[in-house]
Amino acid sequence: MRRYRNGLKTAVLLGLLTALILTAGYWLGGSTGLGIATVLSLVTNGIAYFASDRIALRTMGARPVGPRQAPELHAMVRELTESAGQPMPRIYISALAQPNAFATGRNPEHAAVCVTEGILRILNRRELRAVLAHELSHIGNRDILISSVAAALAGIVTSVANLAFFLPLGAEDDDAPHPLAAMLMLVLGPLAAGLIQLAISRSREYEADADGARLSGDPLALASALEKIEAGTRAVPLAPEGSAVSQAHLMIANPLAGEGAAAMFRTHPPTSERVRRLHKMAGRASVPALRPLWTPWALR
């Protein structure tokens, strides 16, 4: 039932964002701008639906691995998918040194799970299994498509707002917007898109934590993994100008370094709060010490 309630809330958010795109198009270009915004929305939604997984994996420099290249990783995923009653996703490893993981695809039948070489270096098997359960919960809850579409629509808002730089803003043109309206769209368009994407991502991370902890039966392992990943992402943050930043909201932990005002736009809830909730699920006050275990199959 919760999955359907979340779907309804997400549909409302995406509907509001689509309305914002159309409004921005009209303000910036009148009826012509509205038509362009409509076509652009349809094209981008189609790309986001059918190719979001390939785009994300290519952006992250991920390579597919089979049971021969990563037997333990495949065994963990297969065991968890059988417990969840889900299809087996494709498995990828990214060469990124930063510890992180994400899932992508349009549905469970066309899903992929990717882990970085960095995460394979710092987590033990128990923690890695809990992280995989988290990502499989995103797949089961249909979060992966929602996140991809939200990112695509947010990109449209930014692109349409930026068109104000190239459109005539003269008062003699009845279809042209007032210069102040164009300036507001340049600021408020990307801001609104980012806030809606943030609202979608944060709630789903909490739910995937809870569902993943139930699937793995080990909330403390996920809590321990999140703390290690948080420390790892701070030590090796992604460059804000890098292409992988566009996939930041898909990852299990925020991959970007952000302080002050930038922290307001994090697509993930605070790790400390996520860990607190997992501790509460386990009914314990602290995470037991877990020995890091090097996984030699990570680089095969």
List residues with catalytic annotation.
135
Q: Where are the alpha helices (DSSP H) in the chain?
A: 2-59, 71-84, 117-122, 125-140, 143-162, 179-216, 219-235, 271-282
Cα–Cα distances in Å, from 119 out to 22, 97, 99, 123? 41, 8, 4, 6
* Amino acid in the structure at residue 206: Y
Instruction: Check whether 259 is labelled as a binding-site residue.
Output: no
Instruction: Check whether 110 is labelled as a binding-site residue.
Output: no
Q: What are the backbone dihedrals phi and psi of residue 5, each rounded to the nearest 5 degrees, phi first?
A: -65, -40
All residues at 6 or more sequence positions from 229 whose CB lies less than 8 Å from its CB, including other chains:
99, 100, 119, 122, 131, 252, 253, 271
Q: What is d(CA 176, CA 27) in angstroms, rounded to the nearest whole number?
A: 7
* Contact between residue 204 and residue 145 where contact means Cβ atoms under 8 Å apart: no
Q: What is d(CA 137, CA 168) in angstroms, rounded to the nearest whole number?
A: 48
* Contact between residue 92 and residue 120 where contact means Cβ atoms under 8 Å apart: no
Instruction: Check whether 74 is labelled as a binding-site residue.
Output: no
Query: Which residues are annotated binding-site positions?
Result: 134, 138, 205
Query: Which residues are annotated binding-site positions for Zn(2+)?
Result: 134, 138, 205
